[in-house]
Chain A
């Protein structure tokens, strides 16, 4: 079975550019989570969706970050404009419901220069 798919796996961009990260959850999963991992802050939740509806976006750093889930099989996390402090590994995870175990994708390593 295919797990959570994320693209791109690596992204290098210049400060001020728009960045779009993509995630395809496991088929049949109804909840989707975006996490960010840095050395300083560890793993932290940015936002999660349940049945394509955003439930908790309290972790989204600022207005430069936005996330969408137009359907059950696709989600995007957009940063515009990007800044060097956004450099991190971004993970997408999915689960059957928000109450059970989550399965993580391989992550997107973002570098903003």
Chain B
């Protein structure tokens, strides 16, 4: 079972920041937070991951709360091509399988 809770859907205006929340209140100390997205009819795409500290790469920023019970994925300037289902996944440091929940369907609108 997925260990995360995400809103089923969100809208965002093109050019604005998209902030996607994720709750993972049962996360343990050795578990990472991963974000993937799936654009319609494509395979899932890795975005970013983190353990404790905030992380940033060319795609997005990941903000993890101090107690690590929740996180937010930030797409700083959303475009129409960012319309996708976004999955927040908690995974321990042993790796292995990714357990996908239902994700958040983000719609970026003109």
Contact = CB atoms under 8 A, between A and B. Distances in A.
A56 B43 contact: no
A45 B97 CA distance: 6
A45 B95 contact: no
A43 B100 contact: yes
Nearest to A105: B43
Contacts of A45: 97-99
B28 interface: no
A101 B102 contact: no
Interface stretch (B17-25, B44-52, B59-67, B69-77): B44-52
A100 B49 CA distance: 9
Contact of A106 (B34, B42, B94, B97): B42
B96 interface: yes
A107 B101 contact: no
Given A42-B100, A43-B100, A97 B43 contact: no
A98 interface: yes
Contact of A42 (B45, B93, B102): B102
Given A44-B100, A105-B43, 14 more contacts: A42-B100, A43-B98, A55-B96, A56-B96, A59-B97, A93-B43, A97-B95, A98-B96, A99-B94, A101-B46, A103-B46, A106-B42, A107-B42, A107-B43
18 contacts: A31-B95, A43-B100, A45-B97, A55-B96, A56-B96, A56-B97, A91-B43, A91-B44, A97-B95, A100-B95, A102-B46, A102-B98, A104-B44, A104-B45, A105-B43, A106-B42, A106-B43, A107-B43
